[in-house]
Structure 1
């Protein structure tokens, strides 16, 4: 399906001389696909985005249609390689297990359909973890702990259409990334009201994953469950409507749902920080930058630290909100440049 002008955002930067041939780096989520043309001028340099566009998934019948349209927009910049950071779990054969994409994702079919030389797929938060080294101080909001994380593993986590998480582990002069499906782990709660909500959700399904509460759809689930417990009919049908009403103070139930979202997020991040032994946390995803003020004044930090005797340890963990709109594509490019595939 062709895109309407309002469903795509684009920008192009004049290219400079580079040592690498330009390639496509993409961040594929359940709601939007972010496509970029990337090149690097010299070993160890930050990937340079030469062209960038954002597409709405629901306007296209397949990912191939989006990639094809993006390639056509590049004009005189031919490409032969695409690196895709995708929500989901990439298998060894290249296929992706995912709950949140609107269409199948097959690297082999993409390569053959588009006539590309190679298509590589990695987990979207694995890509984000590869990008944290390129962040500047102006692109983060400090939420807890010291401004500078101590040496050690870093957790990158964020709610969007689902919940993604990855761990960056230092090794030598660089690091390795552990991709996870933490969003599919069982939701843990910590207050009496949250227990009642979880019980309500368990009446609808046998397994309540973390992302059933901590995602865009998850915020809607929390709001709807709260309405059911309060005996009130929901008046909001979209997550964005809930956040707007909560931030404006126009709807007490919306505000309560968003506050619960932030509290559960803090508790979950604290759990994962202890599970992975991290020294720093970067929160990303499509939702959090939109509620940055609400999040900073919510119970997030108190719930993050509420881990009994481990509070002192967590007070030393740096927690930051990432505000870099192109982090996924930069991470996909960084992974590719460090993978050794470029020389093959």
Structure 2
């Protein structure tokens, strides 16, 4: 029997097309990671976790976790009993099956809706493993503990990790603050409960509600993730107390957001300091990677700050530009997604400060 014919029979037995594709692929592989199964079967990456867990519930496969989700095909003697039962139910109760079947709430593409928090968490694990520059995470303490090993690996790769940690007002931190060392760059404590939210490199987002009606949103799109980014900053980060700061107090130190860089260097520039360092990003016109070495010479933004205080997040919410002088020329630097500047920067490193 050809694979396409087998798929058709499995679909007639009650499997969805994605479930049939994933199961037939796994029969050939024996065992594999969720990502490998998605790649070889054609099942969209955000859907593969729901698909495999449903197949596990039905007895077709067994899922297990190592550093990520894996699955292996169940022995036919076990799997066929479920298949025979499904066929019998199909033959004698087709109307009941059609009535009870509920298609997952999913819109294919860059934004997907999923029904299970476990699917959001699986996608979050994979996204953390793919992070290159920046992670923003909002979770309660138990979920931080779950993701801690992956966050540690990301931090060791040089990823800037910001954690908004939810703890009820009267609760003590359930572990020593040393647990943040080598795992997070900054941690802030948040008393108000909120959703599960992970942002990676301003490109991927994993969101899940904390309400009784469980659903999640998975995003792989810069523009949509940008909306979640500002929600994170204003609702889950900016106003809360810092309980851990792993950044260097003296150079060298880095920023991954242009807003933070401006707030860090503008008071020093106003005092007459000379600030030298490095900007990493891409040329806006061509998209090619570019690293500049030179001097931070000025900043400019739409808002107007109160004299003697750093600019607020709101004052930097529109256009924000840094002027950076190299040996060749003066560049205009914007943040991720910049359109008017010379460079769209993803990391700013202050290496030396001379003067006041």
TM-score (norm: length of structure 2): 0.25
TM-score (norm: length of structure 1): 0.26
